[in-house]
Chains A and B, each alone.
Chain A
Amino acid sequence: MVKVFIYPATSLILSDLVARYGHTPLSSAVAIRERIQTAGLESPPLQITPEEPKKGLRWAAVEVPAGVRGRMSLYGPQIEACEAAIIINDADLAFGCMGCARTNELVKFLLRQKDIPKLDLYYPKSEEEGVQFVSAIKRFLDGLGGQK
């Protein structure tokens, strides 16, 4: 099983296909779950405390807005841990955890900097594109190897 960072990290489609073909999707939900299930100081709704933007300083400087650094505290460790990535390039309406364009630019940049297998795609817009989309993802994931 290979850890695959999915972009958008909130994607149902990518999360499903990565798991369906035997790998581990790294997603927003997994990062949020870690916080929701860890004791500490109360900071609803996401259990992201004001400490998280400080942790985000590892990936973004202090003059970068708090919301970007807070989101990077979710994604930074996952980007470091991932062994492959699938990036959908026209995910313009992914909200919440993926709601900040500046964070999204940084996430994509850090993924591109990383020497790992990557698959760049657009969302399918027709049935035939759907076939190409699923085939490309399956070929990519099959090619990653790892024990399934």
Chain B
Amino acid sequence: MTEYTPVHVGTVTKYVVVESFDITPADLAVRAYEIAKGAMIKETCFGLVINGKEEEVDRIISELRTIDPDHIFIKDRGFPPGDPRRCRANLGGARPGYHGMEQEMTIIPYVSHGLEVIQTRDIQTVPAPQNPLEHTDLDVNRLKKLIEAQES
């Protein structure tokens, strides 16, 4: 077995994903380059990948978030940008994680909406979402209404 010598040790890499009508990944990239100060920025189809010292990356991200806070989402990435081990061009197809991201991108508009709404609404008054661990039986009156709705 060959020895492995890691690169970019002590850095972090983060995805900055943008799902917005108002700004594009390219807009985000322009702003990121302006404030990069040596951090590595890579543009992708859904946003950016930023690599650098943790404080640097955090600083850039806080700044970028202000552009459109409800439509910019951040997550960690294990690999530095453009790593050949994860690159689509080398693998022939997308890495599995990409499809997971595709899946969440279909849900993100609802989350963005939630983020927008709670700025003007007291979250304590928002009803709790359905709890997956509570399997309540269907209320008999509700069942009756459902049947009636079907028949009409």
Contacts and interface: CB of A to CB of B under 8 A. Distances in A.
Contact, chains A and B (beta carbon distance below 8 A): yes
Interface of A: 8, 10-13, 15-17, 19-20, 25, 27-33, 35-47, 89-90, 93-99, 120-127, 129-136, 138-139
B132 A33 contact: no
B4 A42 contact: yes
Interface stretch (B37-45, B109-117, B137-145): B109-117
- Counting from the closest, the 6 A-B pairs by CB-CB distance are A32-B78, A130-B110, A134-B114, A96-B96, A95-B96, A89-B132
A136 to B, nearest CB: 5
B85 to A, nearest CB: 4
B1 A42 contact: yes
A35 B6 CA distance: 9
A94 B1 contact: no
Contact of B129 (A27, A41, A132): A132
Contacts of A121: 129, 132
Given A96-B96, A132-B127, A136-B129, A38 B74 contact: no
B79 interface: yes
Contacts of B104: 11-13
Contacts of B113: 127, 130-131
A96 B4 contact: no
A30 B76 contact: yes
A15 B123 CA distance: 20
B100 A94 contact: yes
Given A120-B132, A122-B129, A139 B124 contact: yes
